[in-house]
Chains A and B, each alone.
Chain A
Amino acid sequence: MEKIAMNGDQVIALSWKQIDPDVVAAYPITPQTIIVEAFSEYVADGLVNTEYVCAESEHSAMSLCIGASAAGARTATATASAGLAFMWEVLYVASGMRLPIVMAVANRALSGPINIHCDHSDAMGARDSGWIQLFAENVQEAYDNSIMAFRVAEHMDIRLPIMTCLDGFITTHSLERFEPLPDEVVKKFVGEFKWKHPLLDYKNPVTMGPFDWTDYYFEHKYQQVDAMRHVTPVLNQVQEEFARISGRKYEIIEPYRMDDADYAVIAMGSTAGTLKEIVDELRAEGKKVGSIKLRLFRPFPNVEMAKLLQGLKGVAVLDRAVSIGSTGPLFPEVRSALYDSKDRPRLVNYVYGLGGRDIKPEELKQVYKQLIYKEGETLNFLGVRA
Chain B
Amino acid sequence: MTVTSLKVLSEQEDKYVEGHRLCAGCAEPIIARQILMATDKPIVVSNATGCFEVSSSIYPFTSWNVPWIHSAFENAAPTIGGVEAAYLALKRKGKITADMRFISFGGDGATYDIGFQAISGAIERGSHFLYVCLNNEAYMNTGIQRSGATGRGASTTTCPAGTCIPGKREYPKDMTKIIIAHDLPYAAQGSPHNYKDLIEKAAKGFEANGPAFLNVISPCPRGWRHDPSKTIEMAKLAVDTCIWPLYEFERGTWRMTGDSLRIAEGAKPKLPISDWLKSQGRFSHLIKGKWDDVALEIQANVDHKWQELLKLCKL
A49 x B89 contact (CB < 8 A): yes
Scoring B42, B70, B71, B118 by chain A CB atoms within 10 A of each residue's CB, the highest score goes to B71
Give A214 to B43 CA distance when docked, in angstroms.
31
B117 x A71 contact (CB < 8 A): no
| Given A23-B89, A202-B42, A205-B64, A211:B54 Cβ within 8 A | yes
Task: State the interface size on chain A (CB cutoff 8 A).
Answer: 45
* A31 smallest CB distance to B (angstroms): 23
**Nearest chain B residue, comparing its CB with the CB of A93:** B71
A51 x B89 contact (CB < 8 A): yes
> B residues within 8 A CB of A207?
57, 62, 64, 68-69
Answer whether residue B155 sits at the interface, using C-beta atoms and an 8 A cutoff: no
Answer whether residue B80 sits at the interface, using C-beta atoms and an 8 A cutoff: yes
Binds A, one of B92-100, B215-223, B271-279, B286-294: B92-100
Answer whether residue B266 sits at the interface, using C-beta atoms and an 8 A cutoff: no
> B residues within 8 A CB of A70?
69, 82-83
A69 x B82 contact (CB < 8 A): yes
Size class of the B contact interface (CB-based, 8 Å): 35 or more
Which single member of A64, A66, A69, A210 contacts B57 (CB below 8 Å)?
A210
A199 x B85 contact (CB < 8 A): no
B72 x A89 contact (CB < 8 A): yes
Which single member of A51, A63, A72, A209 contacts B78 (CB below 8 Å)?
A63
Q: Please provide the chain A residues from 149 to 207 with a CB less than 8 Å away from any CB of chain B in the complex.
A: 198-202, 205-207
Give A61 to B78 CA distance when docked, in angstroms.
8
> A residues within 8 A CB of B93?
22, 49
> A residues within 8 A CB of B71?
63, 66-67, 90, 93, 97, 209
Binary CB contact string for chain A from 56 to 69 against chain B (1 if under 8 A, 0 otherwise): 11011101111111
Answer whether residue A379 sits at the interface, using C-beta atoms and an 8 A cutoff: no
A200 x B44 contact (CB < 8 A): yes
**Nearest chain A residue, comparing its CB with the CB of B92:** A49
Q: Please provide the chain A residues from 7 to 56 with a CB less than 8 Å away from any CB of chain B in the complex.
A: 22-23, 25, 49-51, 53-56
A64 x B58 contact (CB < 8 A): no
Give A67 to B59 CA distance when docked, in angstroms.
20
A200 x B82 contact (CB < 8 A): no
**Nearest chain A residue, comparing its CB with the CB of B70:** A209
* A129 smallest CB distance to B (angstroms): 14
> B residues within 8 A CB of A66?
69, 71, 75, 79, 82
* A214 smallest CB distance to B (angstroms): 11
Give A89 to B49 CA distance when docked, in angstroms.
13
Scoring B42, B79, B82, B121 by chain A CB atoms within 10 A of each residue's CB, the highest score goes to B82
A25 x B82 contact (CB < 8 A): yes
B85 x A60 contact (CB < 8 A): no
* A209 smallest CB distance to B (angstroms): 4
Give A206 to B83 CA distance when docked, in angstroms.
13
Q: A-contacting residues of B (Cβ < 8 Å)?
A: 42-44, 46, 53-54, 57-60, 62, 64-72, 74-75, 77-90, 92-93, 96, 98, 100, 117-118, 120-122, 124-125
